[in-house]
Amino acid sequence: MNHKVLPNVTVVDHPLIQHKLTIMRDKETSIAGFRRLLREIAHLLCYEVTRDLELEMIPIETPMQQMEAPTIKGKKLVFASILRAGNGLLEGMLDLVPAARVAHIGIYRDHETLQPVEYYFKAPSNLEDRLVIVVDPMLATANSATAAIDKLKERGANKIRFLCLLAAPEGVERFTHAHPDVPIFTAAIDDHLNDKGYIVPGLGDAGDRMYGTK
């Protein structure tokens, strides 16, 4: 069963997610395996983060007769990927919601200061009318996610959810303080951040493990 550690934080602890996450954490897992697993987990997380979307009935005609059938209400969703590693989750999300709009937010954290450095931002228009789901596998200090959401809010987004794979308790605290209106969905909350800002036990550097850039 999923559980809420705080009112706004859902840990999606489906056995398939937990099993796949364990393989991802293993330092012996290959780059190809890591990428495939992240995409598979994204499918399962996408299912949860969209579970309560509102439906509306539309008339259609089946080969047998007319009927009123449910469809997702409102404008297309926006998936906002924090580059680079967010793209690993994004691909899996788009497998399930191929018509979603996509925002790309280029942010990396300075390795010394752990402060976010922004280098790219491109988002669809009408953010104020859409649900925006921000994706990034790692919520460590939360500096990157907080900056990304600041930017989306500046551009009008007002219904936002944040989806990650792993979070540090320190990051969850900072994030919920900075953006109490943004629910977090994560597969796990780990033990702590180390003095270099890495999640422990974690899985290492997600971008490097996805793209082989160490």
Which residue from 205, 151, 197 is spatially nearest to 178, judged by alpha carbons? 151
Q: Would you give the binding string for ligand PRP spanning residues 180-209, x where CB under 6 A is met? A: -----------------x-------xxx--
Question: Encoding tokens for residue 133?
Answer: 């789901």
Let me know if 48 is exposed, middle or buried by CB neighbors in 10 A (0-12, 13-18, 19+): middle
Nearer to ligand URA, 21 or 140 (CB): 140
State the binding partner of 92 from ligand URA, ligand PRP, none, CB within 5 to 8 A by kind: none
Task: Tell me whether residue 109 is annotated as binding.
Answer: yes
Query: Which of 86, 116, 183, 202 is the binder for ligand URA (CB under 6 A)?
Result: 202
Find the part of the chain contacting ligand URA (CB under 6 A) among 3-11, 147-155, 178-186, 194-202: 194-202
163 binds, options ligand URA, ligand PRP, none, Cβ within 5 to 8 A by partner type: none
Q: Which of 74, 80, 160, 76 is nearest to 123 (CA)?
A: 80
User: 171 touches which of ligand URA, ligand PRP, none (CB within 5 to 8 A by kind)?
Assistant: ligand PRP
Alpha helices per DSSP H over the chain: 15-25, 31-49, 86-96, 143-154, 169-178, 206-211
Residue 86 binds ligand URA, judged by CB under 6 A: no
- What's the rounded Cα separation, in Å, for the pair 45 and 185? 8
For 192, the enclosing helix (H) or strand (E) is strand 192-193
Active site residue 190: no
Token pair of 13 as six digits: 């602890």
DSSP state of 13: -
Instruction: Pick one of 12, 103, 127, 138: the residue that binds ligand URA (CB under 6 A).
Output: 138
The binding site for ligand PRP (CB under 6 A) comprises 82-85, 108-109, 114, 116, 136-145, 171, 197, 205-207
* Annotated binding-site ranges: 84, 109, 136-144, 199, 204-206
Please identify every residue annotated as catalytic.
109, 113, 205, 208
